[in-house]
Amino acid sequence: MAEPPRIHIPADDRPDLEEAVREGGGRTAPLERADGLVWLGGRPDELPELPDSVRWVQLPSAGVEQWLRAGAIDRDRAWTSATGAFGLPVAEHALALMLAADKAIHAFARERSWVDEGRHRVRSLEGATVAIIGAGGIGRALIGLLEPFGAEVIAVTRRGREIPGPARPARTLPADRVAEAWPEAHHVVIAAPATDGTRHLVGAPELESMREDAWLVNVARGSLVDTDALVAALRAGSIAGAALDVTDPEPLPDGHPLWDLPNVLITPHVATPPEAERRHFAGRVRENVRRLAAGEELEGLIDPEGGY
**Which of 46-55, 116-125, 127-136, 233-242 is predicted with the least confidence, judged by mean pLDDT?**
116-125
Q: How far apart, in Å, are the Cα atoms of 133 and each of 122, 151, 284?
A: 25, 16, 24
Q: List the strands of the sheet with 129-133, edge to edge.
A: 171-174, 152-157, 129-133, 187-190, 215-218, 241-244, 264-266
Write the Ramachandran bin of 122: left for phi over 0, alpha for psi from -120 to 50, otherwise beta.
beta
The single residue of 221, 280, 290, 291 carrying the catalytic annotation is 221
Which domains does the chain carry? 6-85+273-294 (3.40.50.720), 87-266 (3.40.50.720)
Radius of gyration of the chain, Cα coordinates, nearest whole angstrom: 21
Alpha-carbon span 54 to 33, nearest angstrom: 8
Q: Per-residue pLDDT for 205 more than 90?
A: yes
Count other Cβ atoms within 10 Å, centred on residue 85: 27
Rounded CA-CA distance 41/142 in Å is 29
What's the average model confidence in pLDDT over 123-135? 97
DSSP secondary structure string for all residues of 188-235: EEE-----TTTTTSB-HHHHHHS-TT-EEEE-S-GGGB-HHHHHHHHH
Chain mean pLDDT for the chain: 95
Q: Which pLDDT score, from 0 to 100, does residue 164 have?
A: 81
Q: How many helices (H) and strands (E) does the chain have?
A: 9, 12
Residue 273 CA to residue 143 CA, distance in Å, equals 21
Return the SS3 of 301.
strand
What pLDDT was estimated at residue 98? 98
1 pLDDT tier (thresholds 50, 70, 90) = low
Q: Identify the active-site residue in 250, 256, 277, 278.
A: 250
What is the mean pLDDT of the segment spanning 135-149? 96
Q: Is 269 labeled as catalytic in the residue annotation?
A: yes
Alpha helix segments (H runs only) across 13-163: 15-23, 65-69, 87-102, 105-108, 137-146
In angstroms, the CA 135 to CA 148 distance is 18
Catalytic residue at 221? yes
- Summarised one tens digit per residue, pLDDT across range 85-100 is 999 999 999 999 999 9
pLDDT tens-digit map of 148-167:
999 999 999 999 988 888 88
Per-residue pLDDT tens digits for 239-252: 999 999 999 999 99
**pLDDT above 80: residue 16:** yes
Which three-class secondary structure state does DSSP give residue 137?
A: helix
Of the listed ranges 160-169, 171-180, 182-191, 221-230, the one predicted with least confidence? 160-169
Residue type, 240: A
Q: Cβ distance 104 to 243 under 8 Å?
A: no
Phi (first) and psi of residue 94, to 5 degrees? -60, -40
pLDDT more than 90, % of the chain: 90
Of the listed 211, 269, 278, 279, which one is catalytic? Answer: 269
DSSP-assigned beta bridge partners for residue 265: 243
| Average pLDDT of the residues in 123-150 | 96
Assign residue 165 a region: left if phi > 0, alpha if psi is -120 to 50, beta otherwise? left
Q: What is the pLDDT of residues 39-77, one digit of tens each?
A: 999 899 999 999 999 999 999 999 899 999 999 999 999
Distance in angstroms (rounded) separating the CA atoms of residues 308 and 234: 30
Question: Residue 219's closest CA among 200, 240, 245?
Answer: 245
Which residues pair with residue 174 across a beta bridge?
A: 157
Verify cis geometry, omega within 30 degrees of 0, for the bond prior to 148.
Answer: no
pLDDT per residue as tens digits for the range 257-273: 999 999 999 999 999 99
33: pLDDT strictly greater than 80: yes
Is the pLDDT at 221 greater than 80? The verdict is: yes
